[in-house]
Amino acid sequence: MLTLEELQAFPDGEVFATGVLPNNHIGIFLTNTREGDGLRWVAKKGWGHNDWAIYVHWEDEHDAAWITELGDKVTTDHNIQRCVPCTEEVLKLYRK
């Protein structure tokens, strides 16, 4: 579980976690097309405010670097927690 102290220790702008979850109710359900296909997510710390965000896109179409710059932002608390389990204090810092 990501704590505030751990988040603060990452350098600004750093990708600190990545993974793949299925596009379904067990993973990250973002669209009813391509249900079950893999969605790569990338968690990145913001620049100077201890905020952070998670970006996502199809794992078979783009690499993590592309997703970090141009991917869709994960915006629901349950999907955020599925990617990066974190304390409520850290969740409040998430940039929606």
The model scores a pTM over 0.75: yes
CB proximity list for 68: less than 8 A, separation 6 or greater: 15, 42, 44, 55
pLDDT digits (tens, 9 = 90+) for 55-78: 999 999 999 999 999 999 999 999
Domain-located, residue 66: yes
Q: How many domains does the chain have?
A: 1
Greater model confidence, 32 or 81:
81
Which domain, by its residues, includes 23?
Answer: 4-91
Ramachandran quadrant class, 65 (left: phi over 0; alpha: psi -120 to 50; beta: rest): alpha
Q: Give dist(CA 60, CA 25) in Å, integer.
A: 20
Q: Give dist(CA 9, CA 62) in Å, integer.
A: 28
Mean pLDDT value across residues 28-52: 92
Q: Give dist(CA 30, CA 8) in Å, integer.
A: 29
Domain-located, residue 17: yes
> How many other CB atoms are found less than 10 A from the CB of residue 83?
20
Domain-located, residue 96: no
